[in-house]
Each structure stands twice: as C-alpha cells, then as structure tokens.
Amino acid sequence: MTKTDVPGLRVPVIEFAPARVLHTTPPKTGSTSLLLSYLLMAGLAVPEGAVRAVLRQAQADGSAAAAGLRLHFVAPAQLPAFYAAHAGWHLLCNVRSPYERALSNWFSKLNRYAKRFDRPSYRYGKLRQVLGGPMAWPHIERANVHMQKRISFAAMLAGLARNGVGFDSHFEQQSVLLALDKVTYDRMIRLETMGSDLPQAFEALGVPQAMTGRLAAIPHRNRTAARPSALLDAEAVALIGRIYPDDCRLLGYDSPLDRQTAQPG
C-alpha cells in the first residue's frame, strides 16, 4: 500500500468549468472560504454563514451545475486518474501550516480524535452537550470544550504520534490527501496568504473580471489565528514535526512562523 492508498478517506475537489480549474482542498485548509469564493464567482448569492446550505441547494436545483460548478469527493489514490480525465485543466490546491492545522483540529475536531482513541472523554463531552439542552445539540463545539478539559493539546499530539493520523481526513497529512507523490499542482494556495494568492492565481489563469469582480475580498473564516498560540510551545512544535514530516518538508512549513499571516475571522 502506498501513502496515497488510504482506505476510506476522500478529499474535496472543486470543479469550476468557466476557468477549467480543479481546486483540491484537504479538510482544515480553508474549504468553506474557498467554496464561498467559487459560489460568488458562479453568480450565486450567499447569505452570511450559509455557504454549505447554499451549495447543497444549488446542487439540488441544478443551478451550480448550470454555472459550471461541481464538488467532488475523491480518494487520494484516484486523484491522478481524476485529473487525467480533465486533461488541460489547471490543478490548484489549498494547504495550511501543519502547526496551525493541528491546533485547529484540537479546537474544532477533538471529538473525532476522542471517538477513536478516548471513548470515555468522548462520552463525557457528548453527555455535557446533551445536558446543555436543545440549543447545544447541533453544535459539536459544545461537546469539544468539555473534551478539552480531559484531553489537552499535548495529550492529543502524543496520541497522534502513537496511533498515526490516517484515521480521519481532518488529521491525515495534507501531502497524502493531495497525492503529492504522484501529482504536481500548477498552483499551491496557502491559507495564510489566500487573500493574495487566490486572486493572483485567478488572474494568471485568465478568469474574467466579470467573475473575479464579485470577490470584494477573499474571506478567511478560520478562527485559529485568534486563539492562544502559547499552546505551540517547543515540545508541541517538535512533536508536530514528527507527526507531519512530509507536510513540513513538501509544503514549505519548517516552523510555526512560516507564512503565519492568517487573519482571524
């Protein structure tokens, strides 16, 4: 089994036919902001906070397909064949600092880790979420905040070092999800500088101003940058480097400070 032959994992690929673009975005690399950008370029109205709902509705009623916008979920091992079926298209991908991505996972996806490796903490967090009443039930962060009291960031990292990260696409290495051992991308969009990287990529690809003009600004909706960076101490940084060696090396993030310019929002 090669690195990209990871059973069960899928990565989102945005197909935007007007620009002949396939844009692959591993989880936790700004996928919601990216989807919003493509929805706006496709001419679809997106109310605040309704990106996923608008996409689902546009897929159901055919308006997304009519605008040349589709969302695929592809196994990493199948990416080369999927790209080959779109010969001549531009291949873009989103990436993120593995240090910030690990921290973001502790804040917002700890439930996935706990469900797999710490069931008592998972059950405790879910129970506290249920006890929070109906208003808390749709919001997994209400459970995560209690799981964090039992599973520290350092403990999660130690668990990932022991157990590996291939159990969930949010935790798997981006280099694996992008099949970087088999695929060369035309452009790599860094979440930390997406506000400038993405418009530059669209301009280079010749995307019409009529489309890009709908983007007053490329939004960045991930909130990790506003959270305590003190958790990324020397021990955590070293451990993340061991857990995500290919992401640090192949994506160009040798330290937590590399391209760390994301804005909270």
Q: Within the chain, which residues score under 70 in pLDDT?
A: 1-7, 216-228, 257-265
Q: Is the separation of the CB atoms in 94 and 25 below 8 Å?
A: yes
For residue 195, the SS3 value is: helix
What pLDDT is stored for residue 86 in this prediction? 97
pLDDT tens readout for residues 240-257? 999 999 999 999 898 776
pLDDT tens readout for residues 76-104? 999 999 999 999 999 999 999 999 999 99
* Phi/psi-derived region of residue 258, left when phi > 0, alpha when psi is between -120 and 50, beta in every other case: beta
Any idea which residue has 């405790």 for tokens? 124
The set of long-range contacts for 209-216, using a CB threshold of 8 Å and a minimum separation of 24, is: 211/18, 211/19, 211/41, 211/42, 211/43, 212/41, 214/40, 214/41, 214/43, 215/37, 215/40, 215/41
DSSP state of 151: S
For residue 254, the SS3 value is: coil
**Tokens linked to 116:** 């797999």
User: Terminal CA-to-CA distance of the chain, rounded, Å?
Assistant: 40
